[in-house]
Chains A and B, each alone.
Chain A
Amino acid sequence: MTPASHALGALAAAALACLAGCVHPDYRCVSDHDCDVGEAGRCGTDHRCTAYDPTCPTHRRYSDHSGPASNTCFDDQVAPANVCAAGQPPATPDGCAASVCQALPSCCTAGWSEACVQQAQLVCSDVVCDTRIAITANKPGRSELWDLRWDGAQWIARLDTRQSVLAWLAPEPGTVAPRLAGFSASTLAFDGGSIPTAAARNYLEATSVDFDRDGRPTVALGFSDAAGPHLEIAKLDDGASRVVASAAATRLSWGDVDHDAFPDGIAEAGSGARYHLLSNIEADNRSRQIDDRVSTTVAGGTSSMVANDPPAVRGFDWIDFDGDHQLDVVVYGYTIDIHPGKGEAIGTTFLFRIDCDPPAAANSCDAMIQADHAFAGASLPSATGPALILATHPVRALYRGEVRGTPAAAVLSPYAFPAEACGAGCPPIIAVAVRDLDGDHQLDVIAIDGDLQVYTSLATDHLQLHPAIKLPTAPAAPGFLVVRTSVSGAPRSR
């Protein structure tokens, strides 16, 4: 063969190779507007188009010409850079997250919630977190915002100058640091940015949640206006937002109600005793909406009869209380209601309802005593089984409670307070948080009273509370009625 023949052969081969090599359809979108193929096209953070496809867990599938992802189901699972912060997309089941998701599958299917963080602190030997608590303390005519941090050695408290609602948001995707946010002058200002908010809305809550399962940094803002409560779903990357109808928007907390791939919530309706389970559902236009039709109330609590008028609901918390690997939800307020995550979805059925002082099954004490109480609390998963930390009101007491036996009964273990000058007049505990403070992979208790005195009790302290830090309010004993906490953290070295 001559060189010319070789050259021609090579040319022909190159032409054929060109067919395989030259055509690499690879479309990158800029906005949802670009994704006009299929139903409800959406441009993702990876600049790929997805379209509605109910056969995928997230109901979205990559479009043609999306590179290697073409025609695969979209899923925004990520390996969280910071497992100590809630509000992130569901985790890929690798490493620590695999252990977490074995106990709580929703952490890898619906979202990385606070329950996932607590589980990670329990089961992941390499996870040690600092603890950051954003405190919003209220009483009539006064509101204070505090940034309280435990760095492993000491507590640091800083008064925040924003106007209302201090909360920790999830880290920016791919980063570690959670972002402290608060409302101020028609903006939601957070570390590294801000988005505009509507002046006519009274914002009550700021929470991170992967509401649309699009992997974008998303916040759900609870607000009320003249039309009642709503949720505002806002994107922190471009400030886009939409209002989602919801009958409840106060003390918003995210977990899993219906066991699908989307995070669901629970919130209190206004200032009443009613709370709603907020199922994240699909609207006719394929956007995510809230189904708030399942609701119930905490019982008792004729608050007008009690000095300082405690709120009917102090907070919500998520825990696998019955060991079925599904999140159950616990409501703390006039009563402590535990709703199991059995069946298709969490309903209004109680697994257990606690009332009375000392706390017990709700039907075991006098109605008048029931009426007086408004519990604060938090759930405490542990290697020996789930427990609840219960704070009574108006009489100051703190208990570790477990539900045992048939019929179920609350088994209480009281915490011992340190001797203090205020004595019997010390204000009640009105907020409780649970985190591993000392890195021993056991969860510890942080309790905050109405004067913003912070107590801690490590798992190894045998139910003894220790004064941790007194937030330097002025006056020193302001008597706050409501303290809302938003907890986050970041990995730290031991």
Chain B
Amino acid sequence: MTRGHGAPRRRIATSLAIAAGLAGVAAPAARADTVDDHLARVRELYDRRDFVHARDELLAAYQLEPRPELLFALGQVELNLGRFAQAIDYYERFIATEPAADQVALAQQGIGAARAGLAEKPAAPQPPPRPPHRQWDTADSALAAIGGATLVAGAGLTIYGSHLAGDHSGRLSAYNDRVSHATISEWVGASCVAAGALAIGGAVLRWRLHLVDGEIRPIAAPNAAGVTWTGRW
């Protein structure tokens, strides 16, 4: 709701009262849908803040009987609908009917409020919030690359170790030495493979969990506190 609308809202009752007073004096009793009927529905709609239908009822009433007060009431409804130019038009047409001075003052106030509304920039329509989505970032790439390199190196060491241990040539002492080296190589290699796999897995996990545009809301309750993270998984 824009600022400056409080006073016109209060004054609508006055304008409707003006219109109702007029209707009470001049309404033809024989018509099925009289101006008073329209004005009664306007009051209900206005209370429900259904300004669109209230405007329709006022226009219908004005067609039946173009009372000046109805112009003021239309100005108020257009003001509430944010159609400031139309509101000014109705207020000015009302003033042109040369109402009483206090009513002119009220119309002038309405015009002022409408002009203030016109002067404001229209609020940019809020784009729908972007759904949260995963993002593969540089850190993920670096982690995956390091993991991949480690994994490949580990696999190489493991294969090398197996090759060493599979070489049964020469004497037992030479074989013992080879097996020692092979064991170290295979342990280091397997560790590297495991570490590399874990790093790649970490990158994938990080990518899976790294949701951007998620919504974080604090929770505050008499007996609980925390944060909810709303995102899509």
Contacts and interface: CB of A to CB of B under 8 A. Distances in A.
Nearest to B200: A8
A198 interface: no
B173 interface: yes
Contacts of B173: 36-37
A12 B172 contact: no
Most A C-beta atoms less than 10 A away, residue of B158, B183, B186, B190: B190
A370 B170 CA distance: 65
B45 interface: no
B172 A37 contact: yes
Contacts of A41: 172
B197 A64 contact: no
Interface in A1-32: 2, 4-5, 8-9, 11-12, 14-16, 18-19, 22-29
A34 B162 contact: no
A246 interface: no
Contact of B183 (A23, A27, A63): A23
Contacts, number: 81
Contacts of A36: 171-173
B161 interface: yes
B194 A28 contact: no
A18 B190 contact: yes
A12 B193 contact: yes
B172 A63 contact: yes
Interface stretch (B10-18, B33-41, B110-118, B174-182): B174-182
B161 A23 contact: yes
A24 B151 CA distance: 23
B146 interface: no
Contact of B165 (A24, A29, A34, A37): A24
Nearest to A10: B197
A35 interface: yes
Given A8-B200, A19-B186, A34 B172 contact: yes
Interface residues of B, number: 30
A3 to B, nearest CB: 11
Interface residue tally on A, bucketed by range: 20 to 34
B198 interface: yes
B133 interface: no
Contacts of A8: 197, 200-201, 204
A30 to B, nearest CB: 10
Contacts of A14: 193
A280 to B, nearest CB: 27
Given A4-B204, A29-B172, A63-B172, A12 B198 contact: yes
Interface in B122-178: 151, 154-155, 158, 161-162, 165, 168, 170-173, 175-176
B161 A35 contact: no
Most B C-beta atoms less than 10 A away, residue of A24, A25, A28: A25
Contacts of B162: 22-23
B201 A5 contact: yes
A36 to B, nearest CB: 5
Nearest to A4: B204
A35 B175 CA distance: 10
B62 interface: no
A158 interface: no
Given A2-B208, A15-B197, A18-B158, 19 more contacts: A8-B204, A12-B193, A12-B197, A14-B193, A15-B154, A15-B155, A18-B186, A19-B186, A22-B162, A26-B168, A27-B172, A33-B171, A35-B171, A36-B173, A37-B172, A37-B173, A41-B172, A49-B172, A65-B175
Interface of B: 151, 154-155, 158, 161-162, 165, 168, 170-173, 175-176, 179, 182-183, 186-187, 189-190, 193-194, 197-198, 200-201, 204-205, 208
Closest 7 pairs between A and B when the two form their complex, measured CB to CB: A15-B193, A12-B197, A8-B201, A25-B179, A19-B190, A15-B190, A37-B172
